[in-house]
A and B are shown apart, each in its own frame.
Chain A
Amino acid sequence: MAFFVVQFLTGLASAASLFLVASGLSIIFGVTRIVNFAHGAFYMLGAYVAYTLTERFAGAFGFWGGIVAAAIVVAVIGAVVEIVLLRRIYHAPELFQLLATFGLTLMVEDLVVLTWGPNDLLGRRAPGFKGAVDFFGQSVPSYDLFLIVFGPVVLGILWLLFQRTRWGVLVRAATQDRDMVAALGVNQKWLFTSVFAVGVFLAALGGALQIPRDAVNHAMDLRVIVDVFVVVVIGGLGSILGAFVAAVLVSELNAFGILIFPKISIILVFLVMAVVLIVRPWGLFGKREAPARRTPGLTVNPWRPLTGSERLAACALLLCAAALPLVGGNYAVSVGSEIAIFVIFAISLHVLMAVGGLASFGHAAYFGLGAYGVAFLAKMAGLPMIACLLLGPLLGCVGAAVFGFFAVQLSGVYFAMLTLAFAQIVWSVAFQWVEVTGGDNGILSVWPERWAASPSHFYWLTLAIAALAAVGLRILVFSPFGFALRAMRDSPLRSEAIGINGKRIQWTAFVISGTVAGVAGALFAYLKGSVFPDSLGIPLSVDALVMVLLGGVETVSGGIIGAIVYKALNIWLVSQTDLSKLVLGAFIVLIVVAFPKGVVGMLEMIRHRHRDGTPKATSLIASRIETAE
């Protein structure tokens, strides 16, 4: 019994840090509507800075002063980031903000390694809380008891701050309607900056308080951000009490999950999140999300099919790509195969995002399922390669059918979070079900048969499939189905009013997209000759998102260009520099700030400007003014 109580207390202590970080994310989202992916990076920075400060200044004052000073230092960094970067992109679509903060995370990861080195750092114990308290024969670290008290204290302080101060009232008002607050003469810029700084302060404090419990390392940002996303989604984005309750819930699930279901402990939290999202889509304490704001200034140029000459140009480019093995060596050709595979992956997500307006944050799940499907069929059933390539992606299809059914019940940020949770569940299964998937060791020696074994043959195979996929998905975009999907994205209200069963349409699109992603995964398994849980992981899902946004989410085929540019750049950077994440992150941030329409979107806009020299628009307005009079 005492053992369970101790386990419960450990869970409560872990909840404190999680709550600090989650409440910061929640506050920032509430006011600025930015889902701050870099929140984990600020948490990590808080831990590193606190480590340095507490090592430098000894004694109780040095330690506690160092913790608070670290949080303040990081909060100032956060404020600078807000002023320099985020202020420029408040009017960009929500996804772009997420992408920019992701780029920031990449940069911070490399900067941290550059500054503090790649090794884990063990911090000091907290002065005054070094010992342990005996509890019926079990010992509880006294620092844990401190954290258990500290969490509710912070909750109380935040409550007072929001209920009793002028600043708090403004923040609450801005959370409900920031345009109205701006119209009332509040200086929105500084309100946003201060809110962002407070949110970052909480994240950094959460990180700093972890150093007596845990080693500081440069992977803690991604680990915490996933947990924090789960917490805010369960608690409800924008609700601080919700963040507290959910942080406790998630920490206790982790603490007891390991005891009761050691095999599926990772899944447990995500299962709870999935259930909460399905039963109460806006979280336990959240409010129903206002419809996503229509971003002003974005193009509304209706899409058109390619003209005859454009089709010829596309064919010529395809032929050029097919000539690669004639000029390049084996390395270049296998890089080409990888890029072609990622083109398939990117366009599968692009259709979902651009046409359906559904941003899947866990698209790697279906990519990875396709890869595992091939590996199972080839290794266990011993099927020939053609059969594997045809049947393997069906695993992705089934996964997309099951998860997609639940995911399309939601929209916006919550859709993104649920897809992320599902991907994480699939990853955990692959990682923990060692008997079947080989766990971390993966499934090895899945090699192509002789007819496709040479790099050039395999390249031509992937290129042909990529071309087929691209053409097929383009046809889909301009088909009645594609229009129904766009109708649902443009106006769910009108779609329903003209008899469109939107959820069914979106579900079908999700299944198609997941299947195509599965095809990419199947090819990837043959390219690498093996399958690992990595091909289901969050980093791969994020890669896909970056490729789509880089290409331009408002274009028909931006995913193709996005995949080529991103993947080529990525492979090249990794081979050229140790700081590939720093350069890539900076590149992503630059793209978001300078070219928010993506590469293809930019090109199209330039082309439009050249073509639309005629004063059509002005004559239209003139005619309206005439009739109005």
Chain B
Amino acid sequence: MSTAPTLLSVEGLTKSYGGVHAVRGVSFSLQAGEILALIGPNGAGKSTCFDMLNGQITPDSGRIRLLGEDTTGQPPRTIWRLGVGRTFQITATFPTMTVRENVQVALVSHGRHLFNVWTTIRNFAGAEAGGLLELVGMGGYADRPCGELAYGDLKRLELAIALANKPRLLLMDEPTAGMAPRERIELMRLTARIAREQSIGVLFTEHDMDVVFEHADRILVLNRGTLIAQGSPAEVRRNSEVRAIYLGEGLVYDARHREGAAP
């Protein structure tokens, strides 16, 4: 792990809205192939953090370095071109296209054919799109209208779209929010498998501690805009401050209890 290159390094990230300090001096780094979870109570600043990493919000101060390049304040599309895939807390897909076309648009953009007006999109990466859909278990849905998919399938489609530019880093904001318990575990196992196989770094936020403790290599805990703890799942679970603020005392989160639940 220590020999893997640093994908993402964040130093002193800060953002305020009026008098509210949403994020204060957050610093961390992420290695290739590492799965890093960002947790914390509601209003801790997780989404603000995410939106700054993704370029949707410009930080007040601090620096973000992605793959060695300073991306502070760059727009999302520039960050995407560097090799970052993104999924949203509330899915964002193209409802008037088929599932396959959703992925094809991302592939077309990756191949820089966006201004091609003279051929049909059918000739563009249909097979590659099919492959990505197979990978996330959506192969059978390729020609369905995206608008009629169930929510869990939309989440998987988003993953396929996010993988279209062969990313080095995945940013996933609450990847399993709004899903049934079994679907959550399936989706995160799938993500983790793909990430390990292709050595993709993953940063995700999540409220489901089962998911977090099963898959995260490392956990960052955010409270009121500041990082109060980071470390391995075991370290974070033992941290008394984290227990007091977020995890609570009585519960013991243990991924092994969940093993039997998944198929």
Contact = CB atoms under 8 A, between A and B. Distances in A.
Interface of A: 300-303, 305, 475-476, 478-484, 486-487, 490-491, 493-494, 496-501, 505, 508, 512, 617, 620-621, 624, 627-628
Contacts of B62: none
A476 B105 contact: no
Contact of B152 (A480, A499, A624): A624
A498 B167 CA distance: 11
Contacts of B118: 475, 479
A301 B88 CA distance: 24
A500 B164 contact: no
B114 A627 contact: no
A497 B147 CA distance: 19
Contact of B165 (A498, A501, A508, A512): A498
Contact of B109 (A484, A493, A512): A484
B76 A483 contact: no
Given A302-B97, A478-B120, A491-B95, 19 more contacts: A300-B148, A478-B121, A479-B117, A479-B118, A479-B120, A481-B115, A482-B117, A482-B121, A484-B109, A487-B94, A494-B161, A498-B77, A498-B109, A498-B164, A499-B110, A624-B152, A624-B153, A628-B152, A628-B183
Interface of B: 54, 75-77, 80-81, 86, 88, 92-98, 101, 104-106, 108-110, 113-122, 124, 144-148, 150, 152-153, 161, 164-165, 180, 182-183
Nearest to A303: B96
Interface of A is mostly: helix
A617 B147 CA distance: 12
Contacts of A305: 120, 122
Among A475, A484, A494, A624, max chain B CB count under 10 A is at: A494
27 contacts: A300-B95, A300-B148, A302-B145, A475-B120, A479-B120, A479-B121, A480-B114, A480-B115, A481-B114, A483-B97, A483-B104, A483-B105, A483-B108, A484-B114, A490-B94, A490-B96, A494-B88, A496-B77, A497-B54, A498-B110, A499-B109, A499-B165, A500-B77, A500-B105, A620-B150, A627-B180, A628-B182
Given A300-B96, A617-B148, A481 B117 contact: yes
Contact of B116 (A480, A486, A497, A501): A480
Contacts of A303: 96
Contacts of B106: 498
B117 A483 contact: no
A486 B97 contact: yes
B77 A499 contact: yes
Given A302-B96, A476-B117, A486-B94, A627 B183 contact: yes
A596 to B, nearest CB: 17
Contacts of B150: 620-621, 624
A499 B119 CA distance: 21
Contacts of A302: 96-98, 101, 145-146
Among A483, A505, A617, A621, max chain B CB count under 10 A is at: A483
A303 to B, nearest CB: 8
A497 B114 contact: no
A486 B96 contact: yes
Given A483-B121, A490-B95, A500 B109 contact: yes
A394 B122 CA distance: 32
B132 to A, nearest CB: 13
Given A302-B101, A483-B97, A483-B105, A497 B110 contact: no
- List the 7 closest pairs (A to B, CB-CB), nearest first: A300-B147, A494-B92, A490-B94, A498-B106, A499-B80, A624-B150, A628-B180
A352 to B, nearest CB: 14
A493 B92 contact: yes
Nearest to A475: B118
A10 to B, nearest CB: 43
Contacts of B97: 302, 483, 486-487, 490
B145 A301 contact: yes
Contacts of A482: 117, 121
Nearest to A473: B117
A627 B182 contact: yes
A508 B117 CA distance: 11
Nearest to A355: B96
A204 to B, nearest CB: 41
A33 B181 CA distance: 39
A494 B109 CA distance: 12
A620 B95 CA distance: 17
A68 to B, nearest CB: 46
A226 B77 CA distance: 38
Contacts of B94: 486-487, 490-491, 494
Contacts of A484: 105, 108-109, 114-115
A491 B96 CA distance: 10
A484 B102 CA distance: 10
Contacts of B113: 480
Contacts of A624: 150, 152-153
B91 to A, nearest CB: 9
Nearest to A484: B114
Contacts of A476: 117
A440 B88 CA distance: 55
A498 to B, nearest CB: 4
B188 to A, nearest CB: 15
Contacts of B161: 494, 498
A237 B211 CA distance: 46
A385 to B, nearest CB: 28
A218 B164 CA distance: 59
Contacts of B101: 302, 483
Given A302-B98, A493-B88, A481 B116 contact: yes
Contacts of B93: 490-491, 494
Contacts of A505: 114-115
B92 A497 contact: yes
